[in-house]
């Protein structure tokens, strides 16, 4: 028997601007989904119980008399609502997530399993220390890995994100300046133009003034500009420098930069968000760093974004270690003890940043990741991350414009120079959605025009990198030819171009029921 081919109507042409409309608003097995308030109503419920008989009012007459206004749903409606929403989400478990600077790598399931061990998952932060010795030991062991990998003497484990780690490091610097009696005179913090926005924000939050350093033609710190800013000055508190920097490049003058800052009486804060590019190969302590946060959710693969909280342990040099925040764990040889107050042996501590001890679940995941890779495996993480980014750069460089010459580190940066007039970075990013990929980071760093920053991470195979590059090459060729249809992308997403400025500036965060008149008119 031969299969009979059924004649198919021609599908609308992709890119033609006439995305096919369906009557239901759903398409291709993807259901349109309304707000839960629009699906549910107060008279629906997932359970069917008889009204309780002879109920005694124990509320003293203050029982609610009006409806709560919360939508009721049947069980299948509730399940489907969240299932459908989950399908609208892009996720690292669905595909390559090229967001540069974010290090969206696979979260190994082994780590998840370890984090769910009841002895870690079910303990309470206020339990007596004698009952949580294993958890304290785990924090101490992770701290040892972090200080060993960074070549730094101390680490504050409690910061809960990269930006929070920056706050920790800069508060330690401020405390050190207070101890030196120079907190009022040393206010200036140098920040390169390519810095992540959290760097200047942190400096200002700590009462410092930001002084921007130019980038040179190689995408690195302009050494002449830096030297000029440090000449005959006594007002510099320090520098906040990312290495590898946000252009995906190693700051080759980093030792000189550290010496210049120290000679000027300042401290060197290194933004360690890109540690995944050098872990196991370079120890920041050898580069003259005084403080550096490590994003466990980037370098050590713990989930982030919608998938979980961040964690930003911050390593500190000998000069800053005394000012580390409480609480911290000390290994007493025959057990572990938490120092919880900024007094006695921790009298110089700048205080406390979080209610408890940090992100325990992330500590478990990060240590599981380290132990499963081993020291040699972590070094290979960095090598493979850099190899993958250079593979992407090499495949794309003939159609797109690399922002700088030479090899990159863990992320490949392109400018929009290759696009025809009228086609912009955002059009390319939106077209990637039609190809099944989350867009790359765009318009960051600010030092590159129409920047497109792609970080594949080490967890992608060559096949997946090729599939992604093929899709992006197709879009880049259309952008170079000036294909106007790019301006309407995405065509296949549930929604096409949204007014993102309005959404950011005037978000509608509250659902208001339609006016009764409108209901009556229906
Ligand atoms: C991600 C990132 C940060 C901030 O880290 P969060 O954990 O998101 O607060 C800071 N600097 C750089 C360079 C980053 O990539």
Residue 97 and residue 108: Cα distance in Å, rounded? 15
User: Of all protein residues, whose CA lies closest to atom 5 belonging to ligand 1?
Assistant: 162
Pocket probe for ligand 1: among 160, 166, 247, 271, the residue whose CB has the most ligand atoms within 8 Å is 271
User: Of all protein residues, whose CA lies closest to atom 14 belonging to ligand 1?
Assistant: 273
| CA 272 to ligand 1 centroid distance, Å | 8
Ligand 1 atom closest to the CA of 163, numbered from 1 = 9
| CA 461 to ligand 1 centroid distance, Å | 25
pLDDT of residue 275: 98
By the 8 A CB rule, do 440 and 97 touch?
A: no
Distance from CA of residue 54 to its chain's centroid? Answer: 55
By the 8 A CB rule, do 312 and 295 touch?
A: yes
- Using CB distances shorter than 6 Å, the residues near ligand 1 are 101, 161-163, 196, 198, 242, 246, 271, 273, 295, 310, 312
> Tokens 């000029």 sit at which residue?
228
Domains defined for the chain, CATH in brackets: 110-369 (3.40.640.10), 375-492 (3.90.1150.10)
Residue 326 and residue 339: Cα distance in Å, rounded? 7
User: Of all protein residues, whose CA lies closest to atom 3 belonging to ligand 1?
Assistant: 162
DSSP 37-76: HHH-BTT--S---PPPTT----STT----S---PPB--HH
Residue 499 and residue 506: Cα distance in Å, rounded? 10
Ligand 1 atom closest to the CA of 312, numbered from 1 = 7
Residue 81 and residue 217: Cα distance in Å, rounded? 51
Distance from CA of residue 468 to its chain's centroid? Answer: 21
SS3 assignment, position 156:
strand
| CA 496 to ligand 1 centroid distance, Å | 29
Pocket probe for ligand 1: among 100, 161, 162, the residue whose CB has the most ligand atoms within 8 Å is 162
Residue 162 and residue 245: Cα distance in Å, rounded? 15
- Report, in angstroms and rounded to the nearest whole number, the Rg of the chain calculated over CA atoms: 27
pLDDT tens, per residue, the chain with 522 residues: 444 555 555 555 554 444 578 888 888 888 999 999 999 988 888 888 888 888 788 888 898 888 888 899 999 999 999 999 999 889 999 999 999 999 999 999 999 999 999 999 999 999 999 999 999 999 999 999 999 999 999 999 999 999 999 999 999 999 999 999 999 999 999 999 999 999 999 999 999 999 999 999 999 999 999 999 999 999 999 999 999 999 999 999 999 999 999 999 999 999 999 999 999 999 999 999 999 999 999 999 999 877 779 999 999 999 999 999 999 999 999 999 999 999 999 999 999 999 999 999 999 999 999 999 999 999 999 999 999 999 999 999 999 999 999 999 999 999 999 999 999 999 999 999 999 999 999 999 999 999 999 999 999 999 999 999 999 999 999 999 999 999 999 999 888 898 889 999 999 988 888 877 655 555
């Amino acid at each position: 028997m031969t299969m009979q081919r059924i004649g198919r109507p021609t599908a609308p042409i992709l890119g033609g601007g006439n995305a096919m409309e369906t009557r239901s608003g759903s398409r291709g097995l993807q259901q349109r989904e309304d707000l839960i308030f629009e699906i549910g109503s107060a008279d629906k419920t997932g359970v069917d119980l008889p009204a309780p008989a002879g109920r005694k009012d124990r509320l003293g007459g203050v029982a609610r008399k009006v409806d709560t206004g919360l939508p009721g749903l049947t069980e299948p409606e509730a399940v489907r609502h969240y299932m459908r929403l989950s399908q609208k989400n892009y996720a690292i478990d669905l595909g390559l997530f090229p967001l540069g600077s974010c290090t969206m790598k696979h979260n190994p399931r082994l780590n998840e399993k370890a984090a769910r061990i009841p002895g870690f998952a079910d303990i309470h932060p206020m339990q007596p220390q004698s009952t949580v010795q294993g958890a304290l030991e785990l924090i101490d062991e992770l701290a040892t890995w972090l200080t060993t990998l960074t070549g730094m003497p101390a680490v504050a484990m409690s910061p809960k994100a990269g930006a929070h780690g920056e706050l920790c490091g800069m508060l330690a610097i401020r405390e050190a300046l207070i101890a030196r009696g120079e907190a009022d005179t040393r206010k200036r913090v140098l920040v390169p133009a390519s810095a992540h926005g959290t760097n200047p924000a942190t400096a200002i939050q700590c009462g410092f003034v930001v002084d921007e350093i130019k980038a040179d033609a190689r995408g690195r710190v302009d050494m002449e500009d830096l030297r000029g800013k440090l000449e005959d000055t006594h007002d510099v508190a320090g520098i906040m420098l990312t290495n590898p920097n946000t252009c995906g490049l190693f700051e080759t003058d980093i030792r000189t930069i550290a010496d210049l800052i120290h000679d000027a009486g300042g401290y060197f804060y290194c933004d360690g968000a890109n540690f995944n590019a050098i872990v196991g190969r370079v120890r920041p302590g050898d580069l003259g760093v005084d403080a550096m946060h490590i994003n466990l959710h980037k370098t050590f693969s713990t989930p982030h974004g919608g998938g979980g909280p961040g964690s930003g342990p911050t390593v500190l040099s000998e000069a800053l270690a005394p000012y580390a925040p409480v609480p911290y764990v000390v290994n007493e040889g025959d057990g572990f003890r938490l120092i919880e107050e900024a007094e006695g042996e921790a009298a110089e501590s700048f205080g406390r940043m979080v209610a408890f001890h940090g992100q325990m679940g992330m500590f478990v995941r990060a240590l599981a990741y380290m132990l499963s890779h081993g020291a040699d495996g972590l070094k290979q993480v960095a090598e493979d991350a850099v190899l993958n980014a250079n593979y992407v750069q090499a495949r794309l460089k003939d159609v797109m414009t690399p922002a700088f010459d030479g090899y990159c580190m863990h992320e490949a940066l392109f400018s929009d120079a290759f696009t025809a007039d009228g086609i912009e970075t955002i059009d390319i990013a939106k077209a990637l959605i039609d190809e099944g990929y989350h867009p790359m980071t765009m318009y960051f760093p600010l030092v590159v025009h129409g920047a497109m920053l792609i970080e594949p991470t080490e967890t992608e195979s060559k096949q997946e990198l090729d599939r992604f590059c093929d899709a992006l090459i197709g879009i880049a060729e259309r952008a170079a030819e000036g294909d106007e249809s790019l301006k309407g992308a995405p065509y296949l997403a549930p929604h096409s171009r949204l007014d993102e400025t309005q959404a950011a500036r005037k978000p509608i965060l509250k659902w208001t029921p339609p006016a009764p008149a409108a209901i009556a008119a229906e």
